[in-house]
Amino acid sequence: MTDLFKKPGGIGWFVAALFLADDMAGGGLVTLPTAMVRTDFYIGFVIFLLLWAVTMYAAYALGQSWNILVNTWSTYRVHCRKPYASIGYRAMGPKVRKLVSLNNDITQFGITVIYLLLAAKNIHDMVKTFTDTEFSYCFVILILAACLLPVTYLKSPEDFWIAVMIAMFTTAAGVALVILGIALDFGLCSGYTGVPPLRVKNFFVCLGTVIFACGGHAAFPTIQHDMKNPRDYSKSVFTAFILLLLLYSPIGILGYLTYHDSIRDSILPSIQTEWMRQASNVLITMHCILTITIVINPLNQDLEDLFHCPHHFGWQRVLLRTGTMLAVVFVGESIPSFGPILDLIG
């Protein structure tokens, strides 16, 4: 290919890698040990490694596809609101573009609900712990969504890269505290918990959880679209997935060996050291809150394209993105447990 495209003022490949890692990490950090428990650990860990490799290759292939588009058709060198669907259009036509767009919108909507519920649950637990008062979980969802709404008005990933840097710092610090807390609990908890019986249905639950933990691909072309040099996207993919493996593996392995079947939707309540549990809770909650701005952005841009909203900031963007957040809140209030949604969306 000639005339290779570069975008002045775009994000670099390392920042893009942090975007990718931040998009995938979060819910998987606290739910992956549950998947390990449900599948007798060894089988679950093999499933995780296999899907980690498959999803990494899928992310790489997506990047190569987008590079073909931007270097072949000049129309994609300006702001494109639905790059993933455009790949489907150039590969298989307009019907596939609509199908890809619908699938991505449903996926991103579901992931946004999961992150909102996970963050709200953590905040609710912290308020209850520190104030010893009962505060409605439903009100936490509403307040959190209202606080996040202004940030979702930002146009595209290149406009909120600082939030991603903060999110990755909170993730790394949160993981370090979780691992330390689990290690301190090993002698106390490992001898008093058992292993649940292996059941066939648990494989499908594990599959959904692991795909969610390694997924996020619906947002990947949107992130690559904002890169200074899209050809460097392969570096971003490999860096992001290595980071993901380093984040997930210690928590998954140590969590299973320490707590076994006492883990429920999240591993955080299992940590026995109070200050570590609460500090991890704060850090991972901050990560989930900041990640919502990433996962909801492709959905918002796709809807703006559907309703022909202008690219510049205006009342149309405010109205549409507010409506999207209200829909997320409605689903979250209707199904306040993120475990079943995670298994389904995965």
* SS3 state at 227: strand
* pLDDT confidence of residue 339: 56
* Of residues 181, 173, 171, 148, the one with CA closest to residue 23: 171
* pLDDT confidence of residue 41: 79
Distance CA 304, CA 320 (A): 7
Cα maximum dimension of the chain: 65
Q: Residue 235 is encoded by which pair of tokens? A: 């570096």
* pLDDT confidence of residue 2: 47
Q: What global pTM score does this model have?
A: 0.84
* pLDDT confidence of residue 149: 92
Within 10 A of 77 (CB to CB), how many other CB atoms are there?
Answer: 16
Residue 327's φ and ψ, nearest 5 degrees, are -65, -40
* pLDDT confidence of residue 1: 43
* Of residues 217, 227, 230, the one with CA closest to residue 70: 230
**Residue 345 Cα distances to 18, 117, 341, angstroms:** 23, 14, 6
Percent of the chain with pLDDT over 70: 92
Distance CA 45, CA 32 (A): 10
* pLDDT confidence of residue 281: 83
Distance CA 47, CA 304 (A): 37
* Of residues 244, 200, 232, 304, the one with CA closest to residue 18: 244
The DSSP line for 177-190 is HHHHHHHHHHHHHT
CATH of 13-73+80-345, one of 1.10.10.10, 1.20.58.220, 1.20.1740.10, 3.40.50.12280: 1.20.1740.10
Residue 227's φ and ψ, nearest 5 degrees, are -80, 150
One-letter amino acid at 100 equals V
With a cut of 70, list the residues of the chain below it in pLDDT.
1-5, 26-27, 191-196, 264-265, 336-346
pLDDT digits (tens, 9 = 90+) for 246-267: 988 888 888 888 887 777 667 7
Distance CA 223, CA 248 (A): 22
Q: What number of CA atoms fall less than 13 Å from residue 136's CA on the CB side?
A: 6
* pLDDT confidence of residue 8: 72
Kindly state the DSSP code that residue 11 receives in the 8-state scheme.
B
Task: Write the Ramachandran bin of 7: left for phi over 0, alpha for psi from -120 to 50, otherwise beta.
Answer: beta
* pLDDT confidence of residue 204: 76
Helix runs in the chain, H state only: 13-24, 27-38, 42-72, 83-92, 94-131, 137-152, 161-189, 200-214, 220-225, 233-259, 274-306, 315-334, 338-345
The residue with tokens 């060996």 is: 257
